[in-house]
Amino acid sequence: MFSIVKSGIIHSVFYHVLQVVKDCESRILHWKKVSGDYEALTERLQTLPDQLSYDIMVPFGPLAFMPGKLVHTNEVTALLGDNWFAKCSTKQAQKIVDHRMKYVKSEISDLSKTMKNFEARVGLVRDLESISSSKGDYVDIREDTENTGDIAVTKGKQRIAHKPNSKPKLDAVLDLKEEDEEKEGSRKCTTTEEELWARLDELEKQEELQDDHDRLSYNANMNGEDTSSLSSEEEKEGDAAPAVNGLAHSEAPPSSGRKADEEAAAAEEDDDEEEEGSCLPTIFFSHTIEPKKVRINTGKNTMLKFSERKEQKEHSKRKNKNGHSNGHSHHELHKITTPVDIYRLFVDVKNGEPVPRKSILKSRSRENSVCSDTSESSAADFEEGRRAVGRSFSHDETTQSDTSDGVTEEESPTAVPLHRASRFEAFSGTVVEKEPMPSAVPYLTISPPALPTILERKQEEVAPDVAPPQQAPKRLSKFKAARLQQN
Amino acid sequence: MAEALQKKLKAEVDKFTLMQKDVSKSMSARQKLETQLAENNIVKEELDLLDTTNTVYKLIGPVLVKQDLEEAKATVTKRLEYINGEIQRYESLLKDLEKKSDQHRELLSSLQQEYQKAQGLAVGKV
């Protein structure tokens, strides 16, 4: 459409220019004629005074001539313009003629110049016409800027929104690449994400194992050296026989007052840990100065960081047992720098396989704790809600003389257990105890060996199922129960 | 309504055409004056070139009347001045006429629009 309009305009311009050119041509012709006449005149003027008189045939009207003479050949009457005449000699006439000739010549030159200009315009218009109608050799140069434009636009935007898990890896990958590669990178992103999730599952399993092991070690610490050796034995046995139950049975006799299942769980965890090569996980929270570790009673009434002890133990055990494990991997595995590490380390153990824990808050550290036996009561509490937890806590305070410790112990894991309580159980936090509670031993008699560990196993899943039969012992403080159980 | 508008429109158009004619007339007169001006300038120059020995004639109808050189010069000069004056007058006249014609043109266009609207309404009604 634009071309059509353009062509119309061009045509009009073309015609106009042509007309101007024609006009100029006509004028030039006229002036050329005039100049020719004047040249003839000058010639005549030059020859006329040669003779005094000339015999000529004088025209009489349009059709007749008369013989006559031409006299006063030097006298010429010249028209000056506007009906004015002047009598002058031929020479003067010549001057006048020359004068006029000058004028005529200037006119001709001007006209010729304009004609040239218009002729150039005509040429230009013709070219425009050809361009507009897209014929001839003139072509509109057009460049497709779509692709280049996109690249130019997106060249700066190398990064795409990645999921937090995969971000650190992918940023390095994508920054240097271009659009196409970026797409590949996005695809890559998804695959790495999947890998990461798989890894997370693995790590959760590991974590479970670790927690079990920790619990085991914790119990060992509680009882002194024997337990450590026992745990080491357990670990050894765990290495040999991955079966959980078998371990439990084998380990049950040596431990005194300990849950076989706990040990089994711990051993299993240890097992898995050993197999997986993971060590005690240590979660470092930014808001807390010290790592979130369980304070344990080392038997000498000294407070130690649970994890430290465990780490030492783990390290020693590891050194003893596994030649392949080196300190580096040990530390690296322990080190938690990203959320991925958390999931890696905190793994549940189910049926002898590491299963990624659904919630790291629901850590097996609970199992490590003394009050792991109170899972039953906690399960019961779960039905009633959190206030049951509070009740149990208060109960604990009132009933026990060492509640000071219990209180302090409660406080630290309170935040965690409450969180977890919201999910499945009222309380499943880590338990901190400063010293053994022999006085508490006679208190608690209710701690069915079979149920708690099972509950622990099924903390995330089947807690409600186990709850009903445990309404009765609910009242008993969990800490107490745990302590009793442990002792 | 439409018919009245139409009549009005016609009258206005006629007026406009008259005005246009006046404009063209004045334009042509001015052009003539300009040529005469040029010619008289040439005559003046020629007369200046001449000396007293030459006689100057003026063509009045079929008769060549002898004129004095000085008189001729004076006459020509006067004519020139006259021509210039005429040209200026015509120029002013032309300007006025053009203004009037523009005003009239606008009026005509507005009337035309009204007429078209009326016609459109009439068509719609029909």
Q: What is the pLDDT of residues A276-312, one digit of tens each?
A: 444 466 665 555 454 444 444 444 554 444 444 444 5
Q: How close does chain B come to A118, measured CA to CA in Å?
A: 24
pLDDT of A260: 40
Comparison of pLDDT for A432 and A355, the residue scoring more: A355
Over residues A60-106, the pLDDT tens digits come to 889 999 999 998 888 888 888 878 888 888 888 888 888 889 888 89
pLDDT of A439: 45
Alpha helices in A322-351 (DSSP H): 327-334, 339-345
Rounded Cα distance between A311 and A319, Å, is: 12
Comparison of pLDDT for A150 and A123, the residue scoring more: A123
Over residues B31-46, the pLDDT tens digits come to 888 888 888 888 888 8
Over residues A245-280, the pLDDT tens digits come to 444 444 444 444 444 444 444 444 444 444 444 446
A350, A206 Cβ separation under 8 angstroms = no
SS3 A78: strand
Q: How many CA atoms lie within 13 A of A300 on its CB side?
A: 3
pLDDT of B70: 85
Percent of the residues in chain B that have a pLDDT greater than 90, as a whole number:
4
pLDDT of A14: 79
pLDDT band at A244 (very low <50, low <70, confident <90, very high): very low
Q: Which of A184-188, A219-223, A454-458, B97-101 has the highest mean predicted lDDT (pLDDT)?
A: B97-101
Q: Are A81 and B42 in contact (CB < 8 Å)?
A: yes
pLDDT of A57: 92
pLDDT band at A190 (very low <50, low <70, confident <90, very high): low
Comparison of pLDDT for A21 and A148, the residue scoring more: A21
Over residues A103-127, the pLDDT tens digits come to 888 988 888 888 888 888 888 878 8
Tokens describing residue A447: 């701690």
pLDDT of A69: 92
Over residues A411-458, the pLDDT tens digits come to 444 444 444 444 444 555 555 555 544 444 444 444 444 444 444 444
ipTM: 0.73
Rounded Cα distance between B37 and A62, Å, is: 34
Find the angle CA(A192)-CA(A195)-CA(A198) to the nearest 5 degrees: 155
Q: Which of B50, B66, B83 would you mutate first to test chain A, the one with the most A CBs within 10 A?
A: B50
pLDDT band at A17 (very low <50, low <70, confident <90, very high): confident
Q: Which of A34, A75, A85, A95 would you mutate first to test chain B, the one with the most B CBs within 10 A?
A: A85
Which range among A29-38, A41-50, A235-244, A470-479 shows the weakest confidence by mean pLDDT? A235-244
pLDDT of A183: 47
Q: Output DSSP code: residue A159.
A: -
Bridge partners of A69, per DSSP, are A55
Q: How far out from the chain centre does Cα A193 lie?
A: 14
Q: Look at residue A373 and tell me whether its pLDDT is greater than 50.
A: no
Rounded Cα distance between A118 and A23, Å, is: 11
Q: Name the helix (H) or strand (E) containing A481.
A: helix A478-486
pLDDT band at A40 (very low <50, low <70, confident <90, very high): very high
Which range among A97-101, A334-338, B89-93 shows the weakest confidence by mean pLDDT? A334-338
Comparison of pLDDT for B51 and A228, the residue scoring more: B51
pTM reported for the whole predicted model: 0.38
B84, B40 Cβ separation under 8 angstroms = no
Give the torsion sign (CA, A76, A80, A85, A88): negative
Strand B56-60 to A353-356 pairing: unpaired
Interacting residues of A171 by C-beta distance below 8 A, sequence separation 6+ = A159, A162
Give the torsion sign (CA, A236, A277, A249, A258): positive
Q: Are A92 and B49 in contact (CB < 8 Å)?
A: yes
Which one of A80, A82, A96 has the shortest CB-CB distance to B36? A82
Percent of the residues in chain A that have a pLDDT greater than 90, as a whole number:
5
Bridge partners of A56, per DSSP, are A68
Comparison of pLDDT for A299 and A486, the residue scoring more: A486
pLDDT of A67: 94
- Of A274, A264, A283, the C-alpha closest to A206 is A274
Q: How close does chain A come to B78, measured CA to CA in Å?
A: 13
All residues of chain A having their beta carbon less than 8 Å from the beta carbon of residue B49 are 92, 95-96, 99
All residues of chain A having their beta carbon less than 8 Å from the beta carbon of residue B67 are 84
pLDDT of B97: 87
Number of A–B residue contacts, CB under 8 Å: 61
**A69 CB-contact burial (10 Å; exposed 0-12 / middle 13-18 / buried 19+):** exposed
Which range among A344-353, A447-456, B23-32, B96-105 shows the weakest confidence by mean pLDDT? A447-456
**Chain mean pLDDT for chain B:** 85
Q: Among all chains, which residue has been given the structure tokens 């009239």?
A: B104
pLDDT of B47: 81
pLDDT band at A353 (very low <50, low <70, confident <90, very high): low
Residues of chain B in Cβ contact (below 8 Å) with chain A: 36, 39-40, 42-43, 45-47, 49-50, 54-60, 64, 67, 72, 76, 79
**Chain mean pLDDT for chain A:** 62
